[in-house]
Amino acid sequence: MNSILQIKDKSFEISIPSEKILKEVKRMATQINADLATANPLFLVVLNGAFMFAADLMKEVHIPCEISFVKLSSYNGVNTSGKVTELIGLNEALKGRTVVVVEDIVDTGITMNNIIKLLTIKQPKELRIATFFSKPDALQQPVHLDYVGMQIPNDFIVGYGLDYDGLGRNLKDVYTLKRD
Ligand code: IMP
Ligand code: MG
């Protein structure tokens, strides 16, 4: 395990080892197993970032459930703000179901609030949010998080699904951008 990591122009330093991450993932799964034992939830994994967290989490979830993957795409639409977001890849009917959104990180909260808005239209019975990381100090739009792995400071991180300019998603440990 290398403690310093260089990606393009930036230096990162190891901050959260894989063992610590997996311990928190197990804790989250235990809670989900207890809360949703009879709900037959649909886990909606938000790509790309959440792929690694989702794989680890779902190995520890032992209740009947379904898993599907979505992506948030943003394009230039014709509304007043000019930007429109949509969820792509969602083929399941959500009406009357318990849905658990699985995300890598909630930073400003803007993405998660968009996702909640887009899913609420589909009338799920209940919407729960599971995110591995949250940065409370960066939050701009409040959002209720049901399951959180770790709260972290407002620093840029890579690894465990999170990228810098497309790189670093494959790292099992998490690295923090060095301040110089
Ligand atoms: P939001 O600011 O809560 O809308 O988060 C938007 C997206 O920014 C997240 O889904 C991540 O893909 C990305 N992001 C936020 N913080 C970090 C970080 O520290 N490292 C890498 N990606 C991040
Ligand atoms: Mg993401």
pTM of the entire structure? 0.96
How far is it between the farthest Cα atoms of the chain?
51
Distance 82 CA to ligand 1 centre (A): 21
- Contact 111 CB / ligand 1 (< 6 Å): yes
Output Rg (C-alpha) for the chain, integer angstroms: 17
Q: Which of 68-72, 84-88, 145-149 is predicted least confidently?
A: 84-88
Q: Where are the domains of the chain?
A: 19-152
CATH topology of domain 19-152: Rossmann fold (3.40.50)
* Ligand nearest to the Cα of 163, by number: 1
Q: For residue 99, which of 142, 51, 59, 40 has the smallest C-alpha distance?
A: 40
Q: Are 60 and 31 in contact (CB under 8 A)?
A: no
Encode burial over 71-106: b for 16+ CB neighbours within 10 A, e otherwise: ebeeeeeeeeeeeeeebeebeeebeebbbbbbbbbb
Residue 101 has pLDDT above 90, yes or no: yes
Identify the residue whose tokens are 């063992």.
Answer: 19
Q: Is residue 107 annotated as a catalytic residue, yes or no?
A: yes
Is residue 7 predicted with pLDDT exceeding 70?
yes
